[in-house]
Structure 1
Amino acid sequence: MDPALVLDRVSKPVTEFLNGPLGLLIDGEWSNAQSGKTFDVFDPATGQVIAKVAEGAAADVDRAAVAARRAFESGPWAKMKPADRTQLLLKLADLMEQHADELSEIESLDNGKPVSVASVADIPGSIAMFRYMAGWATKLNGTHINLSAPGDYHSYTTREPVGVVGQIIPWNFPLLMAAWKLAPALTAGCTIILKTAEQTPLSAIRLGQLIQEAGFPKGVVNIISGFGETAGAALAAHPDVDKIAFTGSTEVGRLIVKAATGNLKKVTLELGGKSPVIVFDDADLDVTVPGVASGIFFNQGQTCCAGSRLYVHEKMFDRVVEGIAGEAEKIKIGHGLDPATQMGPLVSEEQFHRVTGYIAAGREEGARVATGGERYGDRGYFVQPTVLADTNASMKVVQEEIFGPVLCAERFNDDDLDRIAKIANQSEYGLAASVWTRNVSLAHKMAARIKAGTVWVNCHNIFDAALPFGGYKQSGWGREMGEFVFQSYLETKAVTIKL
């Protein structure tokens, strides 16, 4: 379907949203940036401008920090019971569900991903996150502690919100990443300044409108659209922000850490990955081949935990690579709003050149292109799903995160699990991995040897609000989701009373 024709089919509510004022949410009000500047948002399938949004900067972060601090210290949010926070979060989730089709459409236009994917993954996952976290609000309790010191004392702990939180989200899952960040922070009782990715601000802005409709007090959630070097840098360095939560590249994560040292604010980071996929010679190929293909090509490969390094036992190598190439060639590429589309464009022109540059580098280094390797079509930022075979650890495409639909495949002929794990672990990243085998004992042994925060067995990219997610090594600090996420949004206070 012609991308231009698809844009003619944008629903009336989304058209009105795109044409409406798209400002900054600060202290419960939508406003222009203090500078008056705006920037363009592009449909990555066509390169056309689809909206203009306010360009927040340091002055706007200052305004948001004042609002968030006031809401945390003295507003109704500060006095609200945990059970009432639960009800607000559940109301927001209900509103999101009521507007699910609209949110899916905005997510597709914002990021380029197929609306068919957003409607079954991104939107339901975001709603589930708010509902799951809502249940924790009344359960974040302290404990009584018996002391061994002489004398009579009553000692206990309380868990208190860390304060004003700055959250910086990426462009690959705009709504879902906003939910991953907002839901636990709100559950804990924090107030928030959320900085959207400059490529994809629309989903978070629409979420902000629903947050207002749900009845959250003013200043509790503030949303700044803007650029990393201005708004993001100001947020990371701000002296009145108590914690920064960042999802993005490892390179930018290092800059966040440096900026946060001014007031030694808490920092959590969910960063890059180069996830190994290990296929043993007993793997069920009917499960493995489509599973590995999905693990790398899902979301156009723009996933931090994409299974981008494939290691296959030499007995199975040709069959696995040919099978994955066949799966790639069956993928329907097109505009995200076309219901038949299975893979959309990359998010931006910059990302398009990054990915095609890596494919060219792989060729130059001697990789064999088993399928793909080219631009798709003559407009938009589409790249064919690509399999580079016979790669090795010295190649740039194997060591560096590509963040696109590019799989690097190589073989192994060893049955020594320690040596196989050493190959899988030869990366600065440690976010995720998957193991494909029918041998349960082997799966457990490999999972124990892999240095990554998540290991999947006979599956890839399986997430749940209750499961912690985060990385080892240079893939980050801390965990998202599950009860583990609250370790970074709560302070623990010890109280001792002499009896």
Structure 2
Amino acid sequence: MKIGPGDEPHEQISVLNPADGSIIGEVPAGTRQDADNAVLLAREAFSSWSRTDATNRSKILFTSAERVRADQKELAVLLTREQGKPIRESMNEIAGFARVLEYYASISGSLPGDYGKSSSYGHMVVARQPLGVCAAIIPWNMPALIMAWKIGPVLATGNTMVLKPSKTAPLTCIALAGHLSASGLPEDVLKIVTGTGEVIGKSLATHPDIRSLSFTGSVDTGIRVASLAAPTLKKTILELGGSDAMIVCHDADLKAAAKGAVSGRFFNCGQTCTAIKRVFVHEQIAGSFINEIKELTSRFKIGNGLESGVDMGPLHTRRQRDLVHEIVRNTIDSDMGQVLTGGVLSDAGSLNSGNFYMPTILTDVDPDAPVMKEEVFGPVLPVTTFSTLDEAIDHANATRFGLGSSVWTHDARTISRAIEELNAGIIWVNQHLRIPPEVPFGGMKSSGIGRENGRNALLSYLEEKTILINP
């Protein structure tokens, strides 16, 4: 499988280790011509791949998953080096990539057409066929897992794919594509083109031969991608992040909720779209809950993700670290919250050479503070109290995002109300963050358009053709 641009000279993009700023690799800065060539080759490969029996496509996906599992440690090390997360989290993400491929391999042939008969219209058949060339633009925070979410249903349904990884975390995606190629995926069925969003992303969004585009990233960029894609009327799936709320009721299991808050916020250094980004805790238990999360956070080991026992690595870029710090300082300076712990760039020493930010808990936060409204992509956990469930739900919904929310309680009526009234695409009860590939993933409002994962993801990449036969 040929990855990226051709043999002609290209400007190179350096890939940096977030833990120390060292260069760990380089990839070509692709041009519009590179993107066009990739689409052309993927279109030529579509003819054969779309006619490949679903069973044979599944075998390739299963074999790829098996190869990835066998190479899990080396892939995880590469992921940690370019992204920054602890090796434990990288190991889980690589396993997640394999699991997603296995899921789609297991259901790839399970969507037959529909058939009916009418005395007025005769035989009625609905056939489903692949779209053609699809494209995906993926971010740096969970590159392996999100790559699987994009390519799994596309390849399983007989489409071909041109994928643009993040320019700051492309190496693991390239390595994973190599495993697919070695597992028998025909040449040009999956093309990876490295480069910037302004060049490669724009080229894919506007290309007339791409029939579907899936994008994961920020709201502002998603809006631009959608506007660029609109003139060619391609199907567009947008996953644009969130500001997930966690509601902790007075009857919640306090220790479980505190553990959930800490893991749900500080996983991947807070750089996850479904991370807990706002906590609303009942005033009766607020003091005990805050003490619990403070105690849990105080045990964190911060450092290079390849070091033993590290709980949280650096933020992915220096710019992101500085932005997070600015948000925290603005919250404090405007008297809209107080720092309980953290709020500093690092605790000195070797951490100063990387993009480290100490896990931060903010208390007494004004529900209308920007930190409670917008998506903060970093290790900052703002906490405020509520007295009634109505108040908690209102605050949880008072944001332009609607990706996920969780409620922590054992009361059936509270659970029922939360499920019904929270405006989010995912509602967790007594848990947060976990998303199996079997269920749809996506949000409401500014969190995006469309859904990924689950059985219906296959339908997103199939065109329906209605056939009426007069016998």
Pairwise TM-score range, normalised by the shorter structure: over 0.9
2:71 to 99, 111, 118: 99
| 1:177-216 → structure 2 map (5 Å cutoff) | 177-216=146-185
Looking at structure 2, the residues matched to 368 and 29 of structure 1 have their Cα atoms a distance apart, in angstroms, of 49
Deviation for aligned residue 1:419: 3.8
Question: Is the counterpart of residue 374 in structure 1 residue 344 in structure 2?
Answer: yes
- 2:199 is aligned, of 227, 230, 241, to 230
- Per-residue deviation, 1:79: 2.2
Aligned position for 2:470: 498
What is the CA distance between 1:108 and its match in structure 2? 0.4
| 1:139 matched to 2:113 | no
Residue correspondence of structure 1 range 79-90 to structure 2 within 5 A:
79-90=51-62
> Tell me, what secondary structure is at the counterpart of 2:232?
coil
Aligned-partner residue type, residue 80 of structure 1: T
Secondary structure of the corresponding residue to residue 308 of structure 1:
strand
Match for residue 399 of structure 2? 427
TM-score computed with the length of structure 2 as normaliser = 0.96
Residue 130 of structure 1, CA deviation? 0.2
Q: Distance in 2 between matches of 1:162 and 1:392?
A: 48
- C-alpha distance in 1, partners of 2:7/2:334? 47
Contact 2:341 2:359 in 1 (8 A): yes
**3-state SS in 2 of match to 1:167:** strand
Q: Matched residue of 2:109: which SS? A: helix
For residue 449 of structure 2, the aligned residue among 467, 471, 477 is: 477
The corresponding residue for 1:125 is 96
Q: Which residue of 2 aligns with 1:60?
A: 34
Deviations 1:355-409 (A, max 9, x none): 1111111111221001111112311000011111111232111111111011111
The SS at the match of 2:192 is: strand
Other-structure match for 2:190: 221
**Partner residue of 2:16?**
42
User: In the aligned structure 1, how far is the partner of 2:4 from the partner of 2:24?
Assistant: 20
| Contact 1:61/1:234, CA 8 A, preserved across alignment | yes
SS of the aligned residue for 2:18 comes to: coil
Hey, which bits of structure 1, 4+ residues long, moved more than 6 A?
Answer: none
For 2:4 and 2:40, locate their aligned partners in 1 and report how far apart those are by CA, in whole Å.
16
Partner of 1:273: 242
Deviation at 1:185, TM superposition (A): 0.6
Q: Which moved more, 1:437-446 or 1:180-189?
A: 437-446
Distance 1:487 1:390 in 2: 46
- 8 Å contact kept, 1:236–1:260: yes
Partner Cα separation in structure 2 for residue 243 and residue 124 of structure 1: 27
| Conserved? CA contact 1:285–1:320, under 8 Å | yes
Q: How many Å apart are 1:30 and its aligned residue?
A: 6.0
2:330 alignment counterpart: 361
Alpha-carbon RMSD? 1.4
Task: Measure the CA separation in 1 of the matches of 2:8 and 2:206.
Answer: 19
5+ long unaligned stretches in structure 1: 1-24
Q: Is the 8 A contact 1:69 1:191 kept in 2?
A: yes
State how far apart, in whole Å, the 1-side matches of 2:185 and 2:7 are. Answer: 22
CA distance in 2, matches of 1:271, 1:29: 27
Partner in structure 2 of residue 488 of structure 1? 460
**Number of residue pairs the alignment of both structures matches:** 466
| Residue of structure 2 in register with 1:318 after alignment | 287
Amino acid of the residue matched to residue 393 of structure 1? Answer: P
Decide whether aligned partners of structure 1 residues 106 and 29 sit closer, same or farther in structure 2, where only a CA change above 3 A counts.
Answer: closer
CA distance in 1, matches of 2:6, 2:18: 25
Do the aligned residues in 1 keep the contact of 2:124 with 2:469 (CA within 8 Å)?
yes
Instruction: Tell me the residue number matched to 1:407.
Output: 381
Give CA deviations for 1:143-171 in whole Å, capped at 9, x if unaligned. 11233x625x1111111112111100110
1:215-263 superposed Cα distances (whole Å, 9 cap, x missing partner)? 1111100001111111111111111111100011111110110000121
Could you tell me whether the CA contact under 8 Å between 1:158 and 1:493 is conserved in 2?
yes
Partners of 2:258 and 2:218 lie apart in 1 by 29
Aligned partners of 2:26, 2:436: CA distance in 1, in Å? 34
**Mapped partners of 1:281, 1:31: distance in 2:** 57
Q: Which residue of 1 aligns with 2:218?
A: 249
State the AA in 2 paired with 1:135. S
Identity %: 36
C-alpha distance in structure 2 between counterparts of 1:78 and 1:276, whole Å:
42
User: What letter matches 1:114 in structure 2?
Assistant: P
For residues 102 and 35 of structure 1, do their structure 2 counterparts lie closer, same or farther at Cα, with a shift above 3 Å needed? same
Distance 1:452 1:155 in 2: 37
For normalisation by structure 1, the TM-score amounts to 0.91
Amino acid paired to 2:260: G
Match of 2:25 among 51, 62, 73: 51
Shift of 1:138: 1.1
Paired residues of 2:93 and 2:145 also in contact (CA < 8 A): yes
Deviates more, 1:382-391 or 1:32-41: 32-41
**Greater alpha carbon shift after TM alignment, 352-361 vs 170-179:** 352-361
Does the Cα contact within 8 Å between 1:33 and 1:57 map onto a contact in 2?
no
* 1:330-370 deviation digits (Å, cap 9, x = unpaired): 11111011131110000111111111111111111221001
For 1:314 and 1:451, locate their aligned partners in 2 and report how far apart those are by CA, in whole Å: 23
Residue 10 of structure 1 corresponds to: none
Question: Which residue, 152, 158, 171 being the options, matches 2:140?
Answer: 171
Three-state SS of the structure 2 residue aligned to 1:135 is helix
**Residues 67-110 of structure 1: CA deviation (Å, up to 9, x unaligned):** 0111113xx31321111100011011011011111111111011
Equivalent-residue separation in structure 2 for 1:470 and 1:280 (angstroms): 26
C-alpha distance in 2 between matches for 1:222 and 1:205: 10
Aligned residues of 1:96 and 1:210 also touching (Cα < 8 A): yes
Does the 8 A contact of 1:45 with 1:379 survive in 2?
Answer: yes
- The counterpart of 1:462, out of the listed 413, 423, 434, is 434
Equivalent of 2:131, from 162, 171, 195? Answer: 162
| 8 A contact 2:4–2:193 mirrored in 1 | no
> Residue 489 of structure 1: CA displacement?
1.0
- Is the contact between residue 126 and residue 465 of structure 2 (CA under 8 Å) also seen in structure 1? yes
User: Counterpart of 1:104 in structure 2: which amino acid?
Assistant: A
Give, as a single letter, the amino acid of the residue that structure 1 aligns with 2:115: H
Q: Which amino acid is the alignment partner of residue 374 of structure 1? A: V
Alpha-carbon contact 1:33-1:60 (below 8 Å) kept: no
Equivalents in 2 of 1:142, 1:339: separation in Å?
52
| Aligned-pair CA distance for 1:487 | 3.0
Work out the CA distance in 2 between the residues paired with 1:61 and 1:312. Answer: 49
State how 1:344-359 maps to structure 2 within 5 Å. Answer: 344-359=313-328
Deviates more, 1:128-137 or 1:354-363: 354-363
Q: Deviations over 1:411-455 (max 9, x none)?
A: 1112xx444322110010000011011213321221111010101
Q: 1:327 aligns with which of 292, 296, 301?
A: 296
